[in-house]
Structure 1
């Protein structure tokens, strides 16, 4: 049995380049596989390995034992897999930990209002709220929350165009957005606030946290949640559905 850690945190990292090799060596020693992105704005990744090794890695991120700083507000989710679903380890220096490409977007300065999984249903069933899925179109095709708007994206960097073309006249409307693990909503909400939207809410921990915390009988989620590895899709309780293949979509085996 392998343990999987999906994690991110926005935090200023003046020496992001200097963190790459220490984390590469540490993860290699633990025999972890997957991808970790390091940028001046923070970290983002999904790693898998023996349960004890993943636990040690998560603890090291949060206490700064590998290299400062400590990621004390890490958004971290665990799941399990029967087999290893990454082939190798990649620790990479990037300009952004999730590519958006808009200077107005700064999650280190402002983001929308976080909504817990437990409070999410009440928010999205409010008739005054517009629910927006910030993921790519093929991801939405596998599953979404009831009534959510699909922006029809082929990449997250197109979200700014969607806002301009379809939401620019709704700056006073309550907007609730969600994504796989929460990171895309950090950037999307920051961008929308910078553009004058006043009430932006987003699901803390994303779909994965919701599927983990909310019983299926109470859930408003329909379908599966696509993930970019050999698990392919996750359902309630983060149960893997590897048979849920989406034609034409590459799976990251790392």
Structure 2
């Protein structure tokens, strides 16, 4: 088994002192040799870190020592190499940005559905299944029969709901996302909008892929993750996708065989739409990366690893 533990975690909790927590949390993570990104806001904590078994266990124990985070959950997967460059603890207005005042998962959320019961729920023809992730994530994998709203950021989800869904018509709605945080906040928003029967996958896709055997799985494809691995599959094994440096869209093995795929410069998703200035920057970045590779050291500019880190669960 790979020796790097990757832990995705979040918890909606009232943290009015989140600014005071920042430095103490950062220092603790660094002392444990952890890398990754944690977001703190008054509404809670969210993020992904990676390190040794002992380091991750110590962090979870540290967080659970706070009575407000005593029941914080996390999802684990594994990597052969450290998937993050450094440790960051950032302060935010929201730990996942919806941008709608009055939506508070600490007060009201939908019904949690355990992975073992998810298949039964989404097989119900009366249930509308919605993927709350961004379009580039849905492109490489989703649940059978799920609706892809084609959002580019989570902030666009409320507008999708207002334009396409009606509480009087859509009586049962089930939502999911990577780790559970976006769909949880989405259920809070939906309840405020008047939808009454709203469900969300507890632990998200990651927990489902971890717990549900391949032969029983209703998941199709791979799941995008916000680190150097780019994607994982059933059993949380590292996937086959890479990432386009220019547009950040995941690229499959088949797409890499396309003449429109130029490593570090373009892919089939952006070949026709990439602005010339962006293309020129990508070409220069690729040239610098190749020079650094020849010299035997990493280029100080943007790397694929850092690109994935900047795409937090927005």
* TM bracket, shorter-chain basis: over 0.9
Note the aligned Cα RMSD (angstroms): 1.4
Secondary structure at the residue paired with 1:251? helix
How many pairs align? 249
What is the correspondence of 1:139-178 to structure 2 with a 5 Å cutoff? 139-168=137-166, 170=168, 172-178=170-176
TM-score by length of 1: 0.95
What is the correspondence of 1:68-87 to structure 2 with a 5 Å cutoff? 69-87=67-85
Which consecutive residues of structure 2, in runs of 5 or more, have no partner in the other structure? 249-306
What is the deviation of 1:189?
0.4
The answer to which structure has the higher helix fraction is 2
Larger Rg: 2
Cα distance change, pair 177–10 in 1 and its aligned pair in 2 (3 A): same
What is the deviation of 1:148?
0.4
What is the CA–CA distance in structure 1 between the aligned matches of 2:82 and 2:4, rounded to whole Å?
6
Correspondent of 2:24 among 22, 25, 28: 22
What is the CA–CA distance in structure 2 between the aligned matches of 1:251 and 1:104, rounded to whole Å?
30
What is the deviation of 1:62?
1.1
What is the CA–CA distance in structure 1 between the aligned matches of 2:170 and 2:148, rounded to whole Å?
20
Q: For each residue in 1:43-90, what CA deviation from the matched residue of structure 2 results, as whole angstroms up to 9, or x when unmatched?
A: 0010001111111111111123xxxx4511212111111100100010
Matched, 1:187 2:185: yes
Correspondent of 1:245 among 237, 242, 248: 242
What is the CA–CA distance in structure 1 between the aligned matches of 2:81 and 2:96, rounded to whole Å?
27
TM-score by length of 2: 0.77
Secondary structure at the residue paired with 1:104? coil
Correspondent of 2:52 among 50, 56, 72: 50
Tell me if the contact between 1:171 and 1:198 (Cα under 8 Å) persists in the aligned partners.
no
Which consecutive residues of structure 1, in runs of 5 or more, have no partner in the other structure? none
Q: Larger relative contact order (C-alpha < 8 A, sep ≥ 6)?
A: 1
